[in-house]
Chain A
Amino acid sequence: MDFVHYALGRWVHIGAGVMWIGLLYYFNFVNAAAAKAATADGTAAGISRHVMPRALLFFRWAAVITWVAGALLLGTRLPDAFLFLSKAYVPIGVGAWLGTIMLFNVWVLIWPNQQKVLGMKSADDEAKIKARRTAFLASRINTLLSIPTLFFMSASGGLFRAAYFSF
């Protein structure tokens, strides 16, 4: 049972996290500039119609799988992490809080606003401009938060925690 819980659980957590953060970096490092250039030469429709809906599908569900797998990994120690009840769980607690904020941003700020931007939900031009800005800023905040999140995920266990925190 420990094998399923810890070995497979960690594998799924990391794999889904790679897909989530990989697509987040794709949106921020590649697509934002590509969409701007494509709008300028009139070829943005292909990205909006064929790339973004698929990328957002994997992005938002990978976020859920990452969070759920992380919560299952913590198991009964979940309160220790989220409430910082035990010293050993403080680093992963910070990572868990950052990941939770990022999941909230995906489902509450990015996805509903991207639906308006991509025309999957009806919105007038003014609402689309506002939605684009909100989704953009939430996506950038997640990129910012991903940096400490990845740090605390890597620095939270065994030898790695000892190296960083002498504990």
Chain B
Amino acid sequence: MKNPLDSLWGTVVSGLVLTVILYLLVRSVMGG
């Protein structure tokens, strides 16, 4: 499998995916 960090847009998409995951996690921790 190709490392997504070797592609600029793979890096950006990975960052957006991580943002969504962390957002949902934090929202659930905060009881929202």
Contact = CB atoms under 8 A, between A and B. Distances in A.
A20 interface: no
Contact of B15 (A84, A148, A164, A167): A148
A137 B18 CA distance: 17
A164 B28 CA distance: 12
Contact of B11 (A28, A84, A90, A148): A28
A167 B32 CA distance: 7
A1 interface: no
B5 A28 contact: no
Interface residues of B, number: 18
B25 to A, nearest CB: 8
Residue among B8, B12, B15, B30 with most chain A CB within 10 A: B15
Contact of B5 (A29, A84, A94, A140): A140
Contacts of A90: 26, 29-30
Contact of A141 (B5, B6, B22, B32): B5
Contacts of A147: 12, 15-16, 18-19
A76 interface: no
B11 A167 contact: no
Interface of A: 28-29, 32, 84, 87, 90-91, 94, 137, 140-141, 143-148, 151-152, 155, 164-167
Interface of B: 5-6, 8, 11-12, 14-16, 18-19, 22-23, 26-27, 29-32
